[in-house]
Amino acid sequence: MTLLLNLLPWRQSQRKKRMHRWSTLFALVLMLIPLLVVRGQALSAWEVRQLQAQSGYQAGMHSALQQLYQQRLVLQKQNNKLLHLQQIKESQKLVIQVWETRLIQLASLLPAGTWLSSLSLQKEFFVVKGHATALEAMQKLEKELAQLEGISTVRAGAVLHEAQGGFGFTFTVTLSEVVNALAN
């Protein structure tokens, strides 16, 4: 004898369970989709804010770097000017040292009874004016000047007899540095 089983209630309960499962899943999907959309919008808004902040930071950095660059250019120009001035000062110092030794030599070469009243540099000539008690002292000074280092030529200028006695004289001296510079 065969036992008859009625499977209709079981099928119906299985169908109800399946429907309940699928409707729950569908409801969850319907609830998750708006949440995901809202989350995506929030993420997009956050990314936009981050990009704006980064853009603002970069703009600030760009202007700061531009300002630093301009300051650097100004400082570099000032530094170049200072360097140029320092080089000029050093060259002037060197010229002063050279002329200091020459003038000391000139002072040591002055014969007795001779003194200088002025020394001036006019273009490429060095003009020496002075007084001597005798013509021999003045002629000796002219020879001594010709022997001095850095002197190319010595030309005697005006010789005046002074009322107090003695003579006033002028020598025009051509410097060898000037002659060399003009030759080049």
**Locus of tokens 């070469």:** 109
CATH architecture of 111-183: 2-Layer Sandwich (3.30)
Res 27: pLDDT: 94
Res 75: pLDDT: 96
Res 6: pLDDT: 67
Backbone angles phi, psi at 176, to 5 degrees: -70, -30
Instruction: Give, in order, the Cα–Cα distances in Å from 56 to each of 68, 161, 172, 176.
Output: 18, 88, 74, 67
Query: Taking the model in full, what pTM does it have?
Result: 0.49
Nearest to 116 by CA among 173, 176, 175: 173
Res 177: pLDDT: 66
Give me the residues of the chain with pLDDT under 50, please.
179, 181-184
Is the distance from CB of 132 to CB of 154 less than 8 angstroms? no
Domain coordinates of the chain in residue numbers? Answer: 14-109, 111-183
